[in-house]
Structure 1
Amino acid sequence: MTKAFPHRTHTNVFIWVAAIICAIVSLAVIITGMVVFVGYMIIHPRVPFISVTSASLDNLRYDQAGLLEIQMLIVIRAENDNARAHASFSHTSFILSFEGEVLAKLVADPFDVRKNSSTDFNYVVSSSQIPLDPMQMEGVDTSLKRNEIAFDLRGNSRAMWRVGPFRSVKFWCRLECELRFHTSNRTYIKSRRCSSKSK
């Protein structure tokens, strides 16, 4: 009686080559990830941030016809307080408004901030006479009575760390704050909220 034995097939050499290549690629990915992680832990960069450092309301004119005219200086600082990492900023743009009325758009070209340093931008906003609707006029009247007027500043800047061959992912620095001034002497009322830094 003749017994049947299972037929043995040899694995194709191309399959072995493909398996070896996949293993090498996987190992390279793991090693690269570990190197990046170790580099990040060594660098350990603090998150760059943007903030309003000062402002001045140089001119505020409002008449009973509902016409508003302002001139304002806003100083926005991009800060990188990490001693080991450079930071790059791009897509920097802010909108200044009052009672929903857009007064100005503040922008900046891409720029770098060195290690443990900062860069200031002085924005001068000078508006022509802005006609206000009844609700906006009521808001101005209320502000004058309480000796405080507020303007909305909204915007963001995209930041990225740079240290040698290592680059972190990009992230947004978002700024949402009220610029408040005393209407009697037009002095700026500082606020910790006018910063993208984590509280």
Structure 2
Amino acid sequence: MIALSPPPFHFHPLKSSTIPMKSLRSDPPEYSAGGRTRTHALLRPHHRTNPFIWFAAFLCVILILLLIASVVLILIIFLIIKPRNPSFDTTAATLNAIYLDSAAYLNADLTFLVNFSNPNTKIDVVFEYSSIELYFLKRLIAAQLIQPFVQRSGEAKLLGLHMISSQVYLPPEIAAELVRQVRTNRVWFTVRGTFRVRASFGVGHFSYWLYGRCQIELTSPPSGVLLARSCRTKR
């Protein structure tokens, strides 16, 4: 028996495939109508920042830092000095006369002492504007301005005021209530003060508005005396 040998196997060398260089290149750039490439058109041209802009930014930073330093300094001063509001009070009052003319027009004569006190130990205050108003049942019946004055730290100041009401019209219900209070020997008034205060400490100062209010009770004239009072002062 004769064995058949397989046919001889021949190796054929593979031919190296060359990739055209054109296929490795990216797509050609697209041009816009003006002749510039689209990629170049999307990029903004680079410009140098104007030195004036840098200088303005530097000044803004300096001003912000100065502002922050000023706020911190003022806060520290406030914490050390601990400023307090001056107080307004009515220490004495006399109702000299009060009557109604034609049952509708008020005539009244009232004198009282107001006390201004500065509780601060390191701050002087100046009352640049002071207005005192007298009310009966929320009806303004007299007003007076006070000349500006200075109050040193820890100082108290008494001022005498003479309030006169002349022919002040009162609605019927308010006039009836006034007659009733005079008959019962208990007459109530409201004293309101509006003040523009400037506080000074060293080389610094600040101004603010201050409001005082007192409820006072007096006996009937001709020698009406102060029976009770309730005062408060706030900003």
Residue-by-residue CA offset, 1:95-129 (whole Å, 9 max, x unaligned): 22335654321211222210111222210124457
Residue matched to 1:89: 127
- Range that drifts further, 145-154 or 6-15: 6-15
Say whether 1:135 aligns with 2:173: yes
**CA 1:17 to 1:63, structure 2 compared with 1: closer, same or farther past 3 Å?**
closer
Query: With structure 2 as the length reference, what TM-score do the two structures score?
Result: 0.68
Q: Does 1:172 align with 2:215?
A: no
> What's the % identity of the aligned pairs?
24
Establish whether residue 149 from structure 1 lines up as the match of residue 187 from structure 2.
yes
Cα distance between partner residues in 1 of 2:72 and 2:169: 60
Work out the CA distance in 1 between the residues paired with 2:209 and 2:228.
23
Q: Distance in 1 between matches of 2:153 and 2:116?
A: 12
TM-score normalized by the length of structure 1:
0.78
Q: Deviations over 1:27-83 (max 9, x none)?
A: 2222222222212222111111222122122x2354796475433211112221101
User: Structure 1: how far apart are the matches of 2:172 and 2:49?
Assistant: 84
Give 1:142 shift. 1.5
Counterpart residue number, 1:160: 198
The 2-side partners of 1:69 and 1:163 are apart by 45
User: Structure 1 pair 98/14, CA: closer, same or farther in 2 (3 Å)?
Assistant: closer
Structure 2 spans left out of the alignment, 5+ residues: 1-24, 26-38
Residues 98, 109 of structure 2: 8 Å contact kept = no
Higher relative contact order (CA 8 A, sep 6+): 1
Q: Match for 1:119 among 132, 144, 157?
A: 157
How many positions carry a matched residue from both structures? 193
Are 1:37 and 2:75 matched, yes or no?
yes
Q: Which amino acid aligns with 2:217?
A: R
1:17 aligns with 2:65: no
Distance 1:116 1:109 in 2: 21
Is the radius of gyration larger for structure 1 or structure 2?
A: 2
Distance 1:73 1:139 in 2: 22
Q: Which amino acid aligns with 2:50?
A: N
Alpha-carbon distance in 1 for matches of 2:156, 2:175: 39
Aligned to 1:77: 115
